[in-house]
Amino acid sequence: MEVLALSLYSGSLFLIVFAVAPVLLRTEENKDLAGRFYGRILWRFYKIAFFLILVYLILSFKWWGLLLLGGLSLNVAVSMWLRNYKRRLGSIERYEPGSPERVKFKRVSYFSTALLLANLFLSSYILLEEVS
């Protein structure tokens, strides 16, 4: 059962990192709308992901679960910062592409996706260790 929870977590991370994020974060038109969709997807994912990691942690009794929980918590913290920063900025489309506000937002957004990728690599490694 713990392997199932871990594989669902890893698979959903794969889907977000390699399907959802590239499509929504690289759109040229309606960046605010794309960002809103991406944010909604992420916040729903976080709820499911925390549940899956807790199931893994409870059933496996391994410290890997704490590491996964820490990685996901870091992602949630970055997403919260991004959400608050976006609320202060308002529409991101009001700013020129090279403006400091837009550059900062874009960098932190890519950092968030990189953290998700790191969590994917970590969960995949743990999954391979569990299976072998």
Rounded CA Rg of the chain:
16
pLDDT attached to residue 62: 80
pTM: 0.85
Which residue ranges make up each domain of the chain? 2-131
Higher pLDDT, 29 or 80: 80
pLDDT attached to residue 63: 82
**pLDDT, tens only, 4-32:** 998 999 999 999 989 888 888 777 777 77
Nearest Cα residue to 119 out of 28, 24, 42 = 42
- Residue 106 tokens, joined: 């874009």
Please, which pLDDT band fits residue 109 given cuts at 50, 70 and 90?
confident
